[in-house]
Structure 1
Amino acid sequence: MGEAKRRKIALGEKYGQPPQFLPWLPISKNQVEQIGKWINRGAWTGIGLLVVSWVTVRFIGPAFGWWQVNW
């Protein structure tokens, strides 16, 4: 009997299904990786928006304020 048949008999209905991340949580390891990718992308998007808003407040805002005061 080959290893694959032994594993199929041992796992029963769970054979061929992706492994779970935690036994009590119905999320597979592949889904956890996808969630991690989305969180990572969202974090970098937030950092980018923070930098853009900082540049706007720090440099562009005072430039427009100077233009209005000297008119």
Structure 2
Amino acid sequence: MGESKRRKEALGTEYGKEQTVVSWLPITKSQAEQFYRITTKGAWIGIVLLVGAWLTIRFVGPAFGWWEINY
């Protein structure tokens, strides 16, 4: 009997199902990896937007005279 058949008999109905990250949380490992990829990409997008906004406020804003208010 091969290892595959032994594993199938040992696991029963759980055979072929994807493992969860934590037994009490119904999130599979592939879902956790997808969440990690999406949040990492979102964080980098946020960093780029923050730097762009800072550059705009720091250098472009004063060039248009927004910092000088004459009352």
Separation in structure 2 between the aligned mates of residue 12 and residue 20 of structure 1, nearest angstrom: 17
Greater percentage in helix: 1
What's the Cα RMSD here? 1.6
Provide the rounded CA distance (Å) in 1 between the counterparts of 2:42 and 2:13.
Answer: 36
- What are the ranges of 5 or more consecutive residues in structure 2 without an aligned counterpart? none
Q: Which residue of 1 aligns with 2:27?
A: 27
Matched, 1:56 2:50: no
DSSP-derived class of the 1:65 partner:
coil
Deviations 1:15-55 (A, max 9, x none): 11111100000000000000000000000000000000000
Q: For structure 1, which runs of at least 5 residues remain unmatched after alignment? A: none
Calculate the TM-score normalised by the size of structure 1: 0.89
- Aligned residue for 2:45? 45
Aligned pair count reads 68
Q: Percent identity?
A: 56
Provide TM-score, normalisation by structure 2. 0.89
Q: Which stretches of structure 1, 4 residues or more, deviate above 6 A after TM superposition? A: none
